């Protein structure tokens, strides 16, 4: 299934954002990273380029992706399917399929470049300071191992705990992620649980060693809407309690508005726009971001046509030589947009790859007015 832009679920995005602003004004403040980003980032991805070796597909699948994740902050990686979001998130922990390779760039985590460090070092990071949650909870758990053993395995691998000790910890983790009758559940097999429960187990395993960063690749996509909300609620609690930074790969603009501090919008292997979350919704600086926002169904607009982005994401190898969004962009100007666009900083924390916006020729429509 390839969710198109029309399926981006952001119906509540606008409402969420408004609510958030209200809360902030009321002085309560949402549980989001506080204040401006200071000091060294926890995770710094720089110039990440992923290619299919052999040169069959040029330019690469992901090109020159740069972003930071600071301690305790949540960063969203959004875009349509096939834009390179998942590849980017997998490259961080060296989980790319054998057929593709990182050909340039660095992924600094806590002072270590995960792309060049030894296998042993990488193994120590995986599941230790960086946890990962996948999209499909049903297939992410080993069907032949009990849930307890799978959570305990993380602690046994990283902390060298004995099985009995680790199982005791696994029990607490199950309780922590809101699974009732944890003692009994330890001995359950994954097929005996619902999808939502399985995702909770995955999260329990991912946070078993108290990571600093959680990479979640569409953690709620495969779940029912009500369960989605519960899982997000759980992630939010965990962020608060563990001061966890989160890199969230998602299609869901509602989730972005609700959960994240910063947004990285990817299109066709490039970063189109990078901004704090408010910037995306109030003043998008790339036509693609703006188009995504307008493709979200909104309440109060019944019986009107839903805006869609015509065409589809070009596959790798067929990227236009100029701006990659140009063929689908309603603001494109031939002469200008057919040239490659540079990544330009508009403000400290807001960057775009649209030359027209950067030059001040174009002002785009956000999802939220006023």
Partner 1 sequence: MTTTAATTTGTATATATRRSRPLNVVRSIVRRPASAVAVGFVLLLVFLAIAGPLVSPHDPEVQDLGNRFAGLSSTHLLGTDEFGRDVASRIIQASRIAVTAPLISVGVALLIGLPLGLWAGLRGGVVDAVAGRLADTILSLPALVGALAIVAVLGPGLVNAMLAVGIIFAPGLFRVVRGATLAVAEETFVESAVAIGSSTRRTLWVHILPNIAAPLLVQVTILMGVALLAEASLSFIGLGVQPPDASWGSMLKSAYTNQFDSPFSVVPSGVAMVLTVLAFNTIGDSIRDAVGLRRRT
Which residues of this chain interact with partner 1, rule CB under 8 A? 93, 95, 98, 123-128, 131-132, 134-136, 139-145, 153-154, 157-158, 178-181, 184-185, 188-189, 192-194, 196-197, 202, 205-206, 208, 230, 233
Residue 144 CB, nearest approach to partner 1 (Å): 4
Residue 122 CB, nearest approach to partner 1 (Å): 8
Residue 235 CB, nearest approach to partner 1 (Å): 14
* CB neighbour class for 66 (10 Å; exposed up to 12, middle 13-18, buried from 19): middle
**What is the C-alpha to C-alpha distance for residues 89 and 347, in angstroms, rounded to an integer?**
25
- If the CB atoms of residues 184 and 312 are measured against partner 1, the closer one turns out to be 184
**What is the C-alpha to C-alpha distance for residues 358 and 68, in angstroms, rounded to an integer?**
21
- If the CB atoms of residues 230 and 343 are measured against partner 1, the closer one turns out to be 230
DSSP 204-244: HHHTTT--SEEEEESTTTTS-HHHHHHHHHHHHHHHHHHT-
CA 56 to chain centroid: 28
- Evaluate whether 102 touches 65 at the Cβ level (below 8 Å): no
- Evaluate whether 309 touches 7 at the Cβ level (below 8 Å): no
How distant, in Å, are the alpha carbons of 59, 68, 71 from that of 212? 33, 14, 7
Residue 196 CB, nearest approach to partner 1 (Å): 8
Residue 149 CB, nearest approach to partner 1 (Å): 9
- If the CB atoms of residues 144 and 305 are measured against partner 1, the closer one turns out to be 144
Q: Please list the alpha-helical segments (H only) found in 68-194.
A: 85-92, 119-125, 137-140, 147-159, 163-176, 182-185
Q: What share of the chain is helix, strand, coil (3-state, %, to 5)?
A: 35, 20, 45
**What is the C-alpha to C-alpha distance for residues 329 and 324, in angstroms, rounded to an integer?**
9
- If the CB atoms of residues 62 and 154 are measured against partner 1, the closer one turns out to be 154
Residue 198 CB, nearest approach to partner 1 (Å): 11
Residue 191 CB, nearest approach to partner 1 (Å): 9
- If the CB atoms of residues 62 and 125 are measured against partner 1, the closer one turns out to be 125
- Evaluate whether 370 touches 18 at the Cβ level (below 8 Å): no
Residue 63 CB, nearest approach to partner 1 (Å): 24
- If the CB atoms of residues 72 and 196 are measured against partner 1, the closer one turns out to be 196
- If the CB atoms of residues 126 and 356 are measured against partner 1, the closer one turns out to be 126
Residue 31 CB, nearest approach to partner 1 (Å): 17
Question: Going by DSSP bridges, is the β-strand pair 112-113/101-109 parallel, antiparallel, or unpaired?
Answer: antiparallel
- Evaluate whether 142 touches 201 at the Cβ level (below 8 Å): no
Residue 61 CB, nearest approach to partner 1 (Å): 18
- If the CB atoms of residues 241 and 361 are measured against partner 1, the closer one turns out to be 241
DSSP 280-316: HHHS--SHHHHHHHHTS--TT-TTSPPP---S-PPPT
- If the CB atoms of residues 11 and 138 are measured against partner 1, the closer one turns out to be 138
- If the CB atoms of residues 59 and 128 are measured against partner 1, the closer one turns out to be 128
CA 187 to chain centroid: 32
């Amino acid at each position: 299934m390839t969710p198109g832009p029309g399926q981006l679920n952001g119906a509540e995005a606008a409402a969420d954002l408004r609510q958030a602003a209200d809360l902030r004004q009321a002085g309560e403040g949402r549980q989001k990273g506080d204040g401006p980003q200071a000091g060294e980032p926890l995770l710094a991805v720089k110039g990440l380029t992923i290619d299919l070796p052999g040169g069959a597909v040029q330019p690469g699948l992901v090109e020159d992706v740069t972003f930071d994740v600071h301690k305790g902050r949540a960063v969203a990686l959004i875009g349509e399917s096939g834009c390179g979001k998942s590849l980017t998130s997998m490259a961080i922990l060296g989980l790319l399929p054998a057929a593709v390779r990182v050909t340039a760039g660095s992924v600094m985590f806590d002072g270590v470049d995960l792309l060049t460090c030894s296998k042993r070092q990488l193994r120590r990071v995986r599941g230790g300071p960086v946890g990962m949650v996948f999209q499909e909870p049903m297939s992410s758990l080993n069907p032949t191992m009990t849930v307890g053993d799978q959570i305990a395995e993380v602690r046994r691998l990283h902390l060298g705990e004995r099985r009995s000790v680790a199982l005791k910890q696994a029990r607490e983790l199950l309780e922590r992620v809101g699974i009732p009758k944890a003692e009994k559940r330890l001995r359950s097999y994954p097929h005996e649980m619902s999808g939502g429960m399985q995702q909770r187990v995955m999260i329990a395993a991912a946070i078993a060693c108290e990571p600093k960063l959680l990479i979640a690749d569409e953690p709620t996509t495969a779940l029912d809407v009500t369960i989605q909300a519960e899982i997000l609620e759980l992630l939010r609690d965990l962020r608060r309690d563990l001061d966890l930074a989160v890199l969230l790969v998602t299609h869901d603009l509602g989730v972005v508005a609700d959960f994240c501090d910063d947004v990285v919008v990817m299109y066709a292997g490039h970063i189109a726009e990078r901004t704090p979350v408010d910037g995306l919704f109030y003043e998008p600086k790339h036509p693609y971001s703006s188009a995504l926002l307008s493709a979200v169904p909104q309440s109060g607009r019944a019986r009107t046509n839903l805006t869609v982005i015509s065409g589809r994401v070009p596959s790798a190898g067929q990227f236009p030589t100029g701006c990659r969004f140009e063929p689908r962009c309603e603001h494109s100007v031939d002469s200008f947009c057919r040239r490659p666009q540079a990544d330009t900083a508009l403000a400290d924390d807001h960057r775009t790859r649209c030359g027209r916006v950067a030059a001040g020729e174009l002002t785009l429509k956000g999802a939220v007015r006023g």
